[in-house]
Every structure is written in C-alpha cells, then in structure tokens.
C-alpha cells in the first residue's frame, strides 16, 4: 500500500520540500520479520570482550560451569560459575601478568588464572591509585 502524503512544507532559505508520511504500523514493518524471544536469546552474546587485546571478558549473564562461550573467534569453557557482570579469563593468565580490560591494565594476577576461570578480587591485585606503587621521587608530599 502506498503511503499517504499528509503535508508538505517549504523551507524559505533552502527551498527544499519536506514530506510528512502517514503509514500504519503494519505497513511500516511488513517487510521485516519480527524477532521472537528465542531469536533474541540466540543473538545475544554471553560474554563481552571490550578490546582485542583484553585477556578477560565480562559475563553478560550468569555463566555455569562447563558451558562454552565465545567472544569473537575466542571460545572458552567456563571452569567455575561466574556471576553476571564479573570477569572471565579468556586464556591462561600467569601469576604477575597484567589483567587487561577495556584495552587497559586493570590489575595483576596474584596467582595463575586458568582459561574460563573467574577473575576477581581473590586472584587480582589492583594497581590503580596505589601510592605504594608510585615510581621513586613521584610520591605526593604534603
């Protein structure tokens, strides 16, 4: 069905016409398949890797042990239950290695973290805002 022209308006300075169109909801969406809940669930990722260099991803839902999840081409088997919003190791992370999220160093592994394991305060040491880690001569005085 053709849309009905409701009104036209001319802009004085540019002499362009604007056409307002009235269409029913059915006409607007008749060429599109309405996504079902099942389709949305299949297309929603389970984890989010924020930068290509990240060695962790964020769980977008609670993850259960034994599940296989993917971030791009990286596939990981979840080793332990991981709460929504928490981090998952995308590969083995040796003790002392930087934890990368957002393409930035978020901390340092205090122990070896296996692929698919929960990455959180129990195995990560924060590095941001720590005066005890400031290079010599840069400490705040006062």
How does DSSP assign 85-129, residue by residue?
A: T-EEESS-B-TTPEEEETTEEEEEESS-B-TT-EESTTTEEE-TT
Are 55 and 104 spatial neighbours (Cβ–Cβ below 8 Å)?
no
- Looking only at Cα atoms, what is the longest distance across the chain? 76
Are 32 and 39 spatial neighbours (Cβ–Cβ below 8 Å)?
no
- Could you state, in order of their start, the residue ranges of all structural domains in the chain? 45-126
pLDDT band of residue 10 (cuts 50, 70, 90) is very low
Q: Which pLDDT score is estimated for 128?
A: 73
Q: Which pLDDT score is estimated for 13?
A: 45
pTM: 0.63
CA distance 69 to 65: 11
CA distance 82 to 135: 35
Which residues are registered as beta bridge partners of 107? 99, 126
Share of the chain above pLDDT 70, in %: 60
CA distance 108 to 121: 10
Q: Which pLDDT score is estimated for 139?
A: 53
Q: What order do you get walking across the sheet with 104-109 strand by strand?
A: 98-101, 104-109, 124-126
- CATH class as words, domain 45-126: mainly beta
């Amino acid at each position: 069905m053709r849309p009905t022209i409701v009104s036209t308006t001319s802009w004085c300075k540019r002499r362009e016409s604007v056409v307002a169109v009235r269409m029913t909801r059915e006409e607007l969406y008749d060429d599109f398949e309405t996504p079902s809940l099942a389709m949305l669930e299949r297309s929603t990722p389970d984890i989010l890797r924020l930068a290509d260099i990240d060695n962790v991803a964020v769980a977008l839902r609670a993850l259960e042990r034994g599940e296989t999840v993917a971030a791009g081409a990286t596939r990981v088997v979840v080793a332990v239950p991981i709460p929504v919003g928490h981090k998952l190791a995308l590969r083995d992370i040796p003790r002392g290695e930087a934890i990368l999220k957002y393409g930035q160093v978020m901390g340092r592994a205090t122990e070896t973290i296996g692929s698919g394991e929960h990455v959180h305060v129990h195995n990560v040491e924060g590095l941001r805002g720590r005066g005890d880690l400031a290079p010599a001569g840069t400490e705040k005085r006062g």
